[in-house]
């Protein structure tokens, strides 16, 4: 990857570090560490295509010409015309941040995230994410919402209010989006106007996942979230988009309570708030491009581990080697260390394209495929490298019929 490209992404990271520092000035942090945010999927893949060796100008997934990420726009939701399917949680007057990759609505009623989707033709599948401090303080209320564009192309929405259970506890939550990013930085400052010490029982968020299906904690897909589980992130999958919430500190964890459609997230517990003092906490809200785990884990690896993604471009053939159209709704699994579960890519509508492509965290994988009576005839080993596009062809055949139960031959009866 050329130095200039890395510098551009680091500049975005420096920008958000500065924004976070400004918001948290003279405020005691609940968690340590900073956050680095990078450009979005289209900008990163375009850069890989532009500079990958031996592929300049070739037809296919990668285009030879690319554009700079668009500046973030701020708009309001009024009347029946909506910029995308905002969902029932969005109401008249809500603010929308849109950078051409993702669009997120902030509610004027309570300063919560009310909708989030892909910018172009995206459908919101998120319910609501509201700033809450735990009983008896409750959630952010009495809100005044304002928006601020910046010369560098970023923008933010600020929700100012107080705790439901105690108006002496003021709350300010800022949502910041930079050009091209699929991650919003959410920063909350809690301040006390009381004359006596107070305690914040549970600084965090109340989450309603809406139509998105919650994933188990820490991406262990076979284990459900239990009460008060600690995890590096929580996530949910929609049909065409996926969401995750994670601490900005790569070493941090959050505490999750609740299962199914609702959850309470804690980024601290019983935090002391002396008279006239403040505390702050930060988290990242991720909007991934598809309803699968590959997009989510690619973004999380980037912001938490500085693992610059590579990309995969996949084509498909039948048993005779004849090209196949990408099988709609099939899953391509990226397995590592043998059968160790890894992220999966969901194949959506490709509109006649001969291949599919997506970003992926760097690493060695074996590609497998399942879906709608199909399977991969063999696993395909690949190595994804940062800043490069790895191409692979997967042979696809019919899924084998399940073997009859032992002792009950086909058409017969079980042996006594």
Q: Which domains are assigned to the chain?
A: 69-292 (2.70.98.90), 310-398 (2.60.40.1120)
Provide φ and ψ at 130, rounded to 5°.
Answer: -115, 140
- The answer to whether residue 330 scores a pLDDT higher than 70 is yes
Choose among 125, 75, 71: nearest CA to 97: 75
Cα distance between residue 186 and residue 158, in whole Å: 10
- pLDDT tens digits, one per residue of 167-183: 999 999 999 999 888 99
- Note whether 78 and 104 are within 8 A (CB): no
User: What's the confidence (pLDDT) of residue 405?
Assistant: 60
- pLDDT tens digits, one per residue of 358-405: 889 999 999 999 988 899 999 999 999 888 888 899 999 998 766 666
- The answer to whether residue 357 scores a pLDDT higher than 70 is yes
- pLDDT tens digits, one per residue of 270-324: 999 999 999 999 999 999 989 999 999 998 888 888 788 888 989 999 999 999 9
CA angle (86 as vertex; 84, 90 as ends), nearest 5: 145
User: What's the confidence (pLDDT) of residue 389?
Assistant: 85
CA angle (92 as vertex; 88, 94 as ends), nearest 5: 85
- The answer to whether residue 15 scores a pLDDT higher than 70 is no
Cα distance between residue 134 and residue 264, in whole Å: 9
Of 77-81, 90-94, 104-108, minimum mean pLDDT range: 77-81
Cα distance between residue 74 and residue 95, in whole Å: 7
Assign 80 a pLDDT band (cuts: 50, 70, 90).
Answer: low
Cα distance between residue 13 and residue 15, in whole Å: 5
CA angle (283 as vertex; 144, 132 as ends), nearest 5: 50
Q: Mean pLDDT in the chain?
A: 79
Print the SS3 string covering the chain.
CCHHHHHHHHHHHHHHHHHHHHHCCCCEECCCCCCCCCCCHHHHHHHHHHHCCCCCCCCCCCCCCCCCCCCCEEEECCCCCCCCECCCCCCCCCEEEECCCEEEEECCCCCCEEEEEECCCCECCCCEEEEECCCCCCEEEEEEEEEEECCCCCEEEEEEEEECCEEEEEEEEEEEECCCCCEEEEEEEEEECCCCCEEECCCEEEEECCCCEECCHHHCCCCCCCCCEEECCEEEECCCCEEEEEECCCCCCEEEECCCCEEEEECCCCEEECCCCEEEEEEEEEEECCCCHHHHHHHHHHHHHCCCCEEEEEEEECCCCCEECCCCCCEEEEEECCCECCCEEECCCCCCCCCEEEEECCEEEEEEEEECCEEECCCEEEEECCCCEEEEEEEEEECCCCCCCCCCCCCCCCCC
């Amino acid at each position: 990857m050329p130095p200039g490209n890395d510098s551009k992404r680091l500049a975005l990271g420096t920008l958000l570090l500065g924004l976070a520092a400004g918001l948290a000035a003279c405020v005691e942090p609940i968690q340590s560490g900073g956050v680095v945010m990078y450009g979005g999927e289209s900008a990163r893949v375009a850069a890989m295509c532009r500079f990958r060796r031996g592929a300049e100008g070739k037809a296919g997934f990668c285009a030879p010409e690319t554009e700079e990420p668009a500046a973030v726009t701020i708009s309001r939701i009024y009347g029946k015309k909506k910029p995308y399917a905002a969902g029932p949680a969005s109401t008249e007057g809500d603010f929308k941040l849109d950078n051409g990759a993702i669009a997120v609505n902030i509610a004027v009623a309570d300063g919560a995230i009310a909708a989030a989707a892909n910018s172009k033709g995206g459908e919101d599948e998120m319910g609501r994410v509201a700033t809450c401090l735990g009983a008896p303080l409750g959630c952010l209320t009495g809100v005044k919402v304002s928006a601020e564009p910046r010369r560098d192309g970023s923008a933010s929405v600020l929700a100012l209010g107080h705790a439901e259970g105690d108006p002496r506890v003021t709350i300010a939550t800022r949502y910041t989006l930079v050009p091209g990013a699929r991650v919003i930085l959410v920063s909350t400052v809690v301040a006390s106007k009381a004359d006596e010490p107070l305690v914040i029982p549970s600084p965090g968020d109340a989450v309603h996942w809406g139509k998105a299906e919650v994933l188990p904690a820490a991406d262990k897909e076979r284990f459900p979230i239990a009460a008060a589980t600690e995890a590096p992130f929580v996530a949910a999958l929609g049909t065409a988009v996926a969401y995750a919430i994670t601490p900005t500190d790569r070493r941090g964890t959050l505490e999750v309570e609740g299962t199914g459609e609702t959850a309470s997230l804690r980024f601290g517990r019983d935090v002391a708030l002396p008279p006239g003092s403040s505390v702050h906490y930060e988290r990242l809200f991720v909007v991934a491009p598809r309803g699968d785990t590959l997009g989510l884990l690619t973004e999380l690896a980037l912001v938490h581990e500085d693992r610059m993604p590579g990309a995969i471009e996949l084509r498909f053939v039948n048993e005779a080697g004849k090209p196949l159209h990408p099988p709609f709704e099939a899953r391509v699994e990226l397995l590592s260390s043998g059968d160790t579960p890894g992220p999966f890519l969901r194949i959506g509508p490709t509109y006649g394209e001969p291949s599919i492509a997506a970003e992926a965290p760097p690493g060695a994988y074996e590609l497998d495929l399942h879906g709608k009576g199909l399977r991969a005839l063999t696993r395909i080993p690949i190595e994804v490298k940062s800043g490069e596009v790895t191409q692979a062809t997967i042979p696809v055949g019919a899924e084998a019929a399940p073997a009859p139960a032992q002792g009950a031959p086909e058409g017969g009866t079980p042996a006594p």
